[in-house]
Homo-oligomer: A and B are copies of this chain.
Amino acid sequence: MSPEGGEQVVREPEPEPVPQRLLAAATRLFAEHGFETTSVQQIVDAAGVTKGAMYHYFGSKDDLLYEIYARVLRVQTARMEQAADSTESVQRRLRAVAVDVVVTTVTHLEDTVIFFRSMHLLHPDKQAEVRAQRRRYHERVRGLIEEGQASGVFRADRSAELVVDFFFGAVHHLGFWYRRDGPMSARQVGEQFADLLLDALRV
């Protein structure tokens, strides 16, 4: 197995660290078979480690689920804030945010599917944490809409809150029908979803 003689050793590519391997395996299995129907044994087998190793890095099976979604949420929040805080017009900023959330949701479609399916199995405290983070996200977007309504570029007789719930409902449901090997790219869907959102706000 190990290099026998020669000075010049050809290194195997550094394997992914154990925690990453575990998260990747868990994501795939949870998406394929569901959180509850995937056993810790299956996860560690798929990751090529043992149970002891998993419990060394993660406190519980729940922790894996939490980490999977928390990662996505961090990424989405960072990207959304960058778009929302830019110097563009509010229409362009809202459109950018809308396209981006579709694209990143599709990029992490498994994580999103897993999450909306299984959030209710998480410990209430962790559920609350994620919900709070999601709420902050929604509120920033709602702020964008209200900003446009206040400045007259968006129609003001639409409830900004309801529009946000409507739009993100559609986005969070992507996992139920979007197929990566289907006819539309993530960006195409994002553009069209953004169109539909802006339709609803056109004066």
Contacts and interface: CB of A to CB of B under 8 A. Distances in A.
B192 A165 contact: no
A174 B168 CA distance: 10
A89 to B, nearest CB: 20
Interface stretch (A2-10, A73-81, A115-123): A115-123
A166 B170 contact: yes
A199 interface: yes
A163 B166 CA distance: 13
Interface in A166-181: 166-174, 176-177
Task: Give the size range of A's interface with the partner.
Answer: 20 to 34
Copies in the complex: 4
Contacts of A174: 169
Given A192-B159, A199-B199, A34 B165 contact: no
27 contacts: A33-B120, A34-B120, A36-B36, A116-B176, A117-B118, A117-B120, A158-B192, A159-B192, A163-B196, A165-B170, A165-B173, A165-B177, A166-B170, A166-B193, A166-B196, A168-B173, A169-B169, A169-B172, A169-B177, A170-B173, A172-B173, A173-B173, A195-B200, A199-B199, A199-B200, A199-B202, A200-B200
A198 B34 CA distance: 36
B162 A169 contact: no
A110 to B, nearest CB: 12
A37 to B, nearest CB: 7
A171 B171 CA distance: 11
A172 B166 contact: no
Contact of A176 (B169, B199, B200): B169
A192 to B, nearest CB: 5
A25 interface: no
A40 to B, nearest CB: 14
